Structure 1
């Protein structure tokens, strides 16, 4: 099945994505630096880009930078005075991302903060970021519920919140699964189910990365 899903991704990319040397360079640079191959796919990246454009986002928060591939996709959706703040635990990953963002000529729009996200998040307001229009959560899954709470704290009515990798190859539906990533996804869904400030749904996705999905919500 994965071969079929990959072929479908390639079909969509070849027809709907003009060749982009910058993004191809980013993926190659990430590979050469030894970063894990867990970037969003091109179709998912463009999906985030289109959602940010639909929202008209001027302030974007990303939790989990890796090599900056998704940062660049979303950064391209920003207006001239827009800003994306991305939080990355690893100094090595952040250095690769900085070079990639420089290659994409998005340095004025994208700020990388290095360190544990749960330590960076409490500092954002004092650094001039009281709220965001669009928030993408794609970091360590066990902390997903904590990231969602912070995302809500930095939201306003209409803020879009997206969480990646919530299906876990279908294991999210198994309440007895003890994998920390699965438990983190389930805790995120449980929190969204109880949270009155946000309307949310989840979508299963298939593609070259396999079987997974997004959760998406809009703050009331």
Structure 2
């Protein structure tokens, strides 16, 4: 089980002081991400949706030596807070926060010939299908793709839902089921963040 982490506690404290929404991954989920990064020996991580950098820092704790995380954030106040947290946690050299709408930043990463071996998608859910398309474009063979909030208290199977977030996630799940380049599954999570889940996928070699 995970131990207390003062640096992560400070991230949440700073987020609250800056009035960021309290929608970070839980401590247990953050530790799960760290372990996945460590087990896969990831060196190039792309995160879509930074918020205050809590999940970013969790992943940085498992990053291979010389590794790098690029994290995309559309909200300038969130990005500023994340940068503060990243500096305070001692990860400024390996984490780059890029401000701007992800669907505008992602083409620039492609133009720069960036590629990644680990992805964490946790941003605006209606755009999840587009984020998956971009992850596949930027993925190295064997890359891992993780997405958060894919159960949403069971609302995903509510065929009467008019929530665009639910429709975005549902389309994302359907795309994964039909996509021959990736093997994937969903894991349900229950805890301090309620009843939700992750999608975990691996791009085929």
TM-score range, shorter chain: over 0.9
1:144-163 aligned within 5 A: 144-163=128-147
Task: Select 2:92's aligned residue among 107, 111, 114.
Answer: 107
Q: CA deviation at 1:17?
A: 2.2
Q: How far, CA to CA, are the matches of 1:204 and 1:93 in structure 2? A: 28
Aligned to 1:46: 31
1:69-218 aligned within 5 A: 69-127=54-112, 129=114, 131-218=115-202
Q: Which runs of 4+ in 1 moved over 4 A?
A: none
Residue by residue over 1:102-156, the C-alpha shift from the partner in whole angstroms, topping out at 9 and shown as x without a partner, is: 0111001000100100000001133452x11100000000000000000000112
Q: How far, CA to CA, are the matches of 1:115 and 1:197 in structure 2? A: 28
Q: Does 1:59 align with 2:68?
A: no
Residue by residue over 1:145-170, the C-alpha shift from the partner in whole angstroms, topping out at 9 and shown as x without a partner, is: 00000000011221000000010110
Q: Secondary structure at the match of 1:202?
A: strand
Aligned to 1:6: none
Aligned length: 204
Q: Secondary structure at the match of 2:69?
A: strand
Q: How far, CA to CA, are the matches of 1:201 and 1:20 in structure 2? A: 30
Aligned to 1:7: none
The 3 A distance-change label for structure 1 pair 100 and 37 is: same
Q: Which runs of 5+ in 2 are unaligned?
A: none
Q: Secondary structure at the match of 1:201?
A: strand
Q: How far, CA to CA, are the matches of 1:188 and 1:168 in structure 2? A: 14
Q: Which runs of 5+ in 1 are unaligned?
A: 1-15
Q: CA deviation at 1:174?
A: 1.6
TM-score by length of structure 2 reads 0.97
TM-score by length of structure 1 reads 0.91
Q: CA deviation at 1:92?
A: 0.3
